[in-house]
Chain A
């Protein structure tokens, strides 16, 4: 299966700052997804990123807070802007390795703590 690498694996940030998380896949994929997983909870989809178009955000998530780039078929970034302690979470990217509507595969996530 595809190898999905996220950077950084973890970070501790000051409130009010921004952090960009990178997701690199070792094969070309159409869709990439960004999720948030708060401690002890399940995964919440933030947005879907398709190469060459604007990301599609889920209810409760906005582009100003979570801007996403998708410059090519193997890479995407998620920025968490103007961070507050409530943004402390694990951020995960995933891909549909076998095509649209197929089960997703995940990276190991970025563990973010905001002081």
Chain B
């Protein structure tokens, strides 16, 4: 079983929709929770990160962490065609020399 499981895609939504991207994890030692956005032919771009349970908001993006349920989500409000990309969740353990563990990614398409 993988340490990080990400909801598979692809996901296709109309412009303006609210998007929910989700990951679960099994390692209680994970302490940093990140979301990366990867456009085609580009490297992953760090979108948001947090280290505590609760919500963190940045513009149209909200990262949610529930450590008790080992579940994280990224919400995108008022989705735009420019949000079309692959989204990767990632986590850092405090017991594994700071290495990141990545989900498999969810490809999102926002249709105008």
Contacts and interface: CB of A to CB of B under 8 A. Distances in A.
Query: Do A and B come together as binding partners?
Result: yes
Interface of A: 1, 4, 31, 41-43, 45, 48, 92, 96, 100-109, 111
Nearest to A56: B97
In the A-B complex, the 3 residue pairs with the closest CB atoms: A101-B98, A106-B43, A108-B43
Contacts, number: 50
Interface string B96-112: 01111011110000000
Kindly name the residue among B43, B92, B102 whose own CB sees the greatest number of chain A CB atoms within 10 A. B43
A111 B46 CA distance: 20
Contacts of A42: 88, 102-105
A101 B97 CA distance: 7
Interface in B71-112: 88, 90, 92, 94, 97-100, 102-105
